[in-house]
Structure 1
Amino acid sequence: MDREKVSLYTQRIITSPFWVLVGKEVRDHIKSIRFNILMVIILLTCIGSLYAALTQVRDVANNIEAGEELYLYLKIFTISGENGTLPPFVTFISFLGPLLGIAMGFDAINSEKNNKTLLRIMSQPIPRDYLILAKFTGSLFVIAFLVIMLGTLIFSLGILIMGIPPTFEEFIRVFVYLIMIIVYIGFWLALSILFSILFKQAATSALSGIAIWLFFSVFYSILVNLLVTASVPDQLFQDAQGANQDKITTYMRLSPNYLFSEITTVLLNPGFRTLGPVTMEQAKGAIPSPLAINESLMIVWPQFIGILALSTICFLIAYTIFMRQEIRS
């Protein structure tokens, strides 16, 4: 009887309107030419950077001494190709990840309106919020599958080329980092869905998402440095320089790109002990030893909460606007 109850409960969940919509979104993304092109680009670029990094890490692995901890699998993410021919994996994922999130959500709602399918969906006995929740959940499932597949590919290539299995510490760090990537891309997905609700044309919402991404990637750091430098003109004193650096770090943490870069630095470099400027008095007496995973997580926990909060705010705004919009026309 218990098995029958569990099977009936599972069947009700699978056949519920929400999960039916989620399955439809997943199928639409998998069959989409746009998603397949982006997936091939991400796979090719990441495989190229990983292979170039693995050829260098393999030389280090051959010369490793007994008991020496080098975190070889973490170096795969951060080391570039020979003579800088290919950027590291983290550079590619920080560049292509936001584009993937924007591409999967910029026409989530306005395409349904322009194709006159939104009225047809809403005419069914389906709550309105199921649609936008299914759009976000289905896209996030596809992103999570792609990211986990990349992580599995990294471990597989590492074992084949280096012949050394990853340690438990490396496995946990990489797994947590992959979760952070999913959350980071989820922010851009929520932002693009918001633009797809605000703007009628898909091209306008796509350009708006790309413009926000370019602003935070290129222009935001320049703007922050200019504003902080102009506010403290006297650069001759050490106190003024330290105050400038503190202000720059504080303002830069309003950018999701900078928050993700801090997460990447701490998780993939166990020897990285702190974020922000460190005085000589603070560094005096510190023992240069790698941090445990729980200590690294304590450092990047505020950054993770910041990205998650930005994603939640964007989606809640999109949810509120969509629930109040008129869709009969």
Structure 2
Amino acid sequence: MAPGVAGVRERSIGWRVIAAKEVADHLLSTRFAVLLLLVALAAVGSVYAASGGIREIAERAQEAPSLFLQVFTAAPERVPSFLTLVGFLAPLLGVAFGFDAVNGERAQRTLPRLVAQPIRRDDVINGKFVGGLAVIVAVLTALTLIVAGLGIVRLGITPTADEAGRLLAWLVLTAVYVGFWLAFATLWSVVLRRAATSALVSISVWLVLTLFTGFLVGLVADAVAPVPDSPTVEEVLRNARVQQWLGRLSPAVLYEEATVVLLNPQIRTVGIVLPRQVDQAIPSPLPLDQSLLVVWPQIVGLAALCVVCFAAAYVLFMRQEIRA
């Protein structure tokens, strides 16, 4: 075999070897088992709690729009919906699989041995990211199929082609969203030497962007576009627009907006809607392609954030000195 062909072959399989190693390590780890059990119990519990209310809706209106999707979006009393739980807990999978991707190998003194193998140095970080993302996508896919199966068995409702397409689009969107958190945690595992520190930073940022975005955005919006005691409509709208644009700096907000539109065809926009616009709107569900057009900026934004974080981790890792 020619030397050039051999080099290309080694480069094409190097990251696959690392990815396969990462998949095996994750699947056999206690961390994976605990997180999988937590997410699965929360998801299945929310579906069981919501199934009673969905059955009542189905009995009252056999032609209720997108009834099958309500298995994922319905929120009974005191129990969040499956959609809310996944949006809150799924980033933990990305953080858990990425916070020690590089510094964990460095702490165990196995990183020099990895880069000493007949593979390219970038295959290490590429394989680690692909392996972690593959496990996360497999978990999300299995969880979605289990929830869909429970909905079919308990409610006797089968999804239409449009509903199945929406679920597939949502699954891809969720994989991109969790991929961002995996890339973000991997970035800190490259920058910081201690795995505990990178985990703390990643979880802290996740909590701020998930739980406190609304509070922080409200404070900034009130300072930039204050609303007086007797406000005009324009002043209220200006404050609301500032809150909306600032909120979209958070990947959690982008994911939430895209998810709501994809899994609820009745929603036609993610912007600010005035009462007169609601009265003039035609009450008909959007087809899947139109829903994708509505949230295309959010999808592109999440993908861009994921690419930027991984590119930063890649560049920093390639420039680091690795000593035996």
TM bracket (short chain): over 0.9
Looking at structure 2, the residues matched to 14 and 41 of structure 1 have their Cα atoms a distance apart, in angstroms, of 38
Q: How does 1:61-72 map to 2 (within 5 A)?
A: 61-65=58-62, 68-72=63-67
Deviation at 1:64, TM superposition (A): 3.2
Q: Is 1:19 aligned with 2:22?
A: no
The one-letter code of the counterpart of 2:288 is I
Between the aligned partners of 1:234 and 1:38, the Cα distance in structure 2 is 44
**280, 289, 294: which one pairs with 2:284?**
289
Q: Distance in 1 between matches of 2:113 and 2:221?
A: 53
Question: How many angstroms does 1:90 deviate by?
Answer: 1.3
Unmatched 5+ residue regions in structure 2? 1-8
Contact 2:226-2:239 at 8 Å conserved across structures: no
Deviations 1:34-87 (A, max 9, x none): 01110011111101001111222122223333xx24212211111123xx1321
1:74 aligns to what? Answer: 69
SS in 2 for 1:70: coil
Q: Supply the distance in 1 between the matched residues of 2:211 and 2:152 (Cα, whole angstroms).
A: 37
1:227 aligned onto 2:213: no
- Note closer, same or farther for the CA distance 1:31–1:70 as it changes in structure 2 (3 Å cut): same
Distance 1:69 1:63, change over 3 A: closer
Q: Choose which of 28, 35, 43 in structure 2 pairs with 1:31.
A: 28
Residue 173 of structure 2 aligns to a residue in which SS?
helix
Task: Tell me the amino acid that sits aligned with residue 309 of structure 2.
Answer: C
- Aligned equivalents of 1:202 and 1:115: distance in 2? 11
Shift of 1:122: 1.2
- Which residue of the other structure, out of 49, 54, 65, is the alignment partner of 1:52? 49
Shift of residue 281 of structure 1? 4.8
2:240 match: 245
Q: Say whether the 8 Å CA contact 1:14–1:20 is kept in structure 2.
A: no
1:234, distance to aligned residue in structure 2 (A): 4.2
Cα distance in 1 for residues equivalent to 2:316 and 2:12: 28
Q: Displacement of 1:188 after TM fit?
A: 0.4
Rounded to whole Å, the distance in 2 between the matches of 1:45 and 1:280 is 37
Aligned to 2:205: 212
Report the AA paired with residue 263 of structure 1: A
Q: Secondary structure at the match of 1:174?
A: helix
Q: Is 1:271 aligned to residue 266 of structure 2?
A: yes
Residue 296 of structure 2 corresponds to residue 328 of structure 1: no
Q: 1:14 to 1:170 in 2, by over 3 A?
A: farther
Task: State which drifts further: 266-275 or 298-307.
Answer: 266-275
Name stretches of at least 5 consecutive residues in structure 1 with no aligned partner.
1-11
8 Å CA contact 2:137, 2:175 repeated in 1: yes
- Alignment-mate amino acid for residue 126 of structure 2: L
Per the alignment, residue 159 of structure 1 pairs with 152
Residue in 2 that maps onto 1:113: 106
State the identity %: 43
Give how far 1:223 is off. 1.6
2:122 equivalent to 1:129: yes
2:94 to 101, 106, 109: 101
The match for 1:261 is 256
Per mean C-alpha deviation after superposition, the further-off stretch among 229-238 and 257-266 is 229-238
1:213 Cα offset (Å):
0.6
The DSSP-based 3-state class of the residue aligned with 2:117 is: coil
Q: Distance in 1 between matches of 2:219 and 2:157?
A: 47
TM-score by length of 1: 0.91
Paired residues for 1:83-98 under 5 Å = 84-98=77-91
Distance 1:31 1:80 in 2: 34
Aligned match of 2:136: 143
**Aligned partners of 1:71, 1:142: CA distance in 2, in Å?**
30
CA contact (8 A) 2:58 2:64 kept: no
Alpha-carbon deviation of 1:13? 9.1
The count of aligned residue pairs is 314
1:81-132 per-position Cα deviation (integer Å, ceiling 9, x unaligned)? 3xx1321111111111111110111000001111110111111111000000
- RMSD, aligned CA: 1.7
Scaled by the length of structure 2, the TM-score of the pair is 0.93
